[in-house]
């Protein structure tokens, strides 16, 4: 019997934090859009668009958390936790599209600045407001993002906005001090370059989950060794480790036990030891073992 109670994004507390972060992000996004229109700042507009994607990411995260909290049924036997992964996939694509758009606009402005004028003073004030709001949102999401790939997607976007706001502040100071308006375009390029690695990292993790790869940091051979050290275990094969989403690893294996262990009723004890081992040493709460007598081993195609 395992406890599969929701955690991370699946907890009501995390959803509440996401909702608060969404409210903060939405308000600041409007402020940045207005500020970008008034100042003529591309960097501020890029940061505002990024805030828009943050808001979209938080909406996706909230929807995914609601779906993921639905109980398992006869058709979705693992429940709906994988919804978090699809939400993270959408977030990663949005990040990449955004960064490409910002980079193109910034390069065009650098090549042909024209008569663009940027109001550095107002730009600085708006950027400081954005920096403060992003810091608060990051603090709210910092705990939940450790347990959920989807919340991590939203967290990374807010982190990108925090650094982006800092870059806008630097550009605004340069413009106020020197009048060099192209600092705005350079800050925009910086924001784009900052987004891409995080987006790629998020998509790589999504692909790893969807490909049912072993979770990062999980050493299958070490798990084999622990299983083989259990009294009564002769061999182990067909070992599979994957994860439904971040923080939800799943394990299955065929375990060969000696005939005496099966005949004298020790099988239940061995099974309990194996499940406790996976839970305590490898943080795997959902494990399935098929106990087999020696000489009755059947390897599958993935052995």
Contact 68, 4 (CB under 8 A): no
Q: Do 224 and 188 share a structural domain?
A: no
Tell me if residue 257 falls in helix, strand or coil. Answer: strand
Distance in angstroms (rounded) separating the CA atoms of residues 286 and 250:
5
> Quick check: is 215 in a domain?
no
> Quick check: is 302 in a domain?
no
Within 8 A by CB and 6+ apart from 50, the residues are 98, 102, 157, 160, 161, 164, 191, 195
Instruction: State the chain's mean pLDDT as an integer.
Output: 78
- Given a cut of 50, is residue 3 above it in pLDDT? no
Q: Do 20 and 106 share a structural domain?
A: yes
Query: pLDDT tier at 125 (50, 70, 90 boundaries)?
Result: very high
Q: Do 180 and 113 share a structural domain?
A: yes
Domain that holds residue 285: 220-293
Residues 128-179: tens digit of each pLDDT: 998 998 888 888 777 777 766 656 766 777 777 788 889 899 999 999 998 8
Greatest mean pLDDT range, 120-124, 241-245, 263-267: 120-124
Query: Residue 134's pLDDT is what?
Result: 83
What is the reported pTM?
0.67
Residues 15-74: tens digit of each pLDDT: 677 777 788 888 888 888 888 888 888 888 888 877 776 777 677 667 666 766 677 777
Mean pLDDT of 80-105: 81
Q: Do 237 and 276 share a structural domain?
A: yes
Query: pLDDT tier at 1 (50, 70, 90 boundaries)?
Result: very low
Q: Do 180 and 88 share a structural domain?
A: yes
- Mark which of 210, 245, 273 sits at the end of a domain: 210
Mean pLDDT of 184-189: 89
Query: Residue 149's pLDDT is what?
Result: 63
Q: Do 181 and 46 share a structural domain?
A: yes
Query: Residue 61's pLDDT is what?
Result: 66
CA 103 to chain CA mean position, Å:
24
When divided into structural domains, the chain yields a total of 2
> Quick check: is 266 in a domain?
yes
Domain CATH number, residue 253: 3.30.70.1350
Mean pLDDT of 178-201: 84
Q: Do 203 and 164 share a structural domain?
A: yes
Q: Do 197 and 110 share a structural domain?
A: yes
Mean pLDDT of 181-208: 84
Distance in angstroms (rounded) separating the CA atoms of residues 81 and 65:
8
Domain CATH number, residue 192: 1.20.1510.10
The count of other CB atoms within 10 Å of the CB of residue 105 is: 18
Interhelix angle for 12-39 vs 149-178, to 10°? 20
């Amino acid at each position: 019997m395992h406890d599969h109670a929701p955690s991370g994004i699946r907890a009501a507390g995390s959803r509440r934090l996401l909702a608060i972060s969404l409210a903060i992000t939405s308000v600041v996004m409007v402020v940045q859009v207005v500020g970008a229109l008034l100042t003529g700042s591309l960097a501020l507009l890029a940061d505002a668009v990024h805030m828009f994607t943050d808001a979209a990411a938080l909406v996706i995260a909230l929807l995914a958390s609601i779906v993921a909290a639905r109980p398992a049924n006869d058709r979705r036997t693992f429940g709906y936790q994988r919804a978090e992964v699809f939400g993270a996939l959408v977030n990663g694509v949005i990040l990449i599209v955004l960064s490409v758009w910002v980079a193109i606009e910034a390069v065009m402005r650098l090549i042909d600045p024209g008569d663009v004028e940027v109001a550095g003073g107002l730009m600085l004030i708006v950027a400081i407001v954005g920096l403060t709001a992003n810091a608060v949102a990051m603090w709210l999401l910092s705990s939940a993002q450790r347990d959920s790939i989807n919340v991590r997607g939203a967290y990374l976007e807010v982190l990108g906005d925090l650094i982006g706001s800092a870059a806008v502040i630097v550009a605004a100071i340069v413009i106020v001090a020197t009048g060099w308006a192209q600092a705005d375009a350079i800050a925009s390029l910086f924001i784009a370059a900052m987004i891409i690695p995080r987006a790629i990292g998020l998509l790589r993790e999504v692909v790893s989950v969807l490909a049912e790869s072993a979770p990062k940091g999980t050493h299958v051979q070490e798990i084999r060794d622990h299983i083989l050290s259990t009294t009564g275990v002769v061999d182990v094969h067909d070992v599979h480790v994957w994860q439904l989403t971040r923080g939800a690893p799943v394990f299955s294996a065929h375990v060969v036990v000696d005939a005496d262990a099966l005949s004298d009723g020790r099988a239940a004890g061995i099974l309990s030891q194996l499940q406790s081992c996976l839970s305590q040493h490898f943080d795997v709460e959902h494990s399935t073992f098929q106990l087999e007598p020696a000489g009755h081993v059947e390897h599958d195609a993935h052995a």
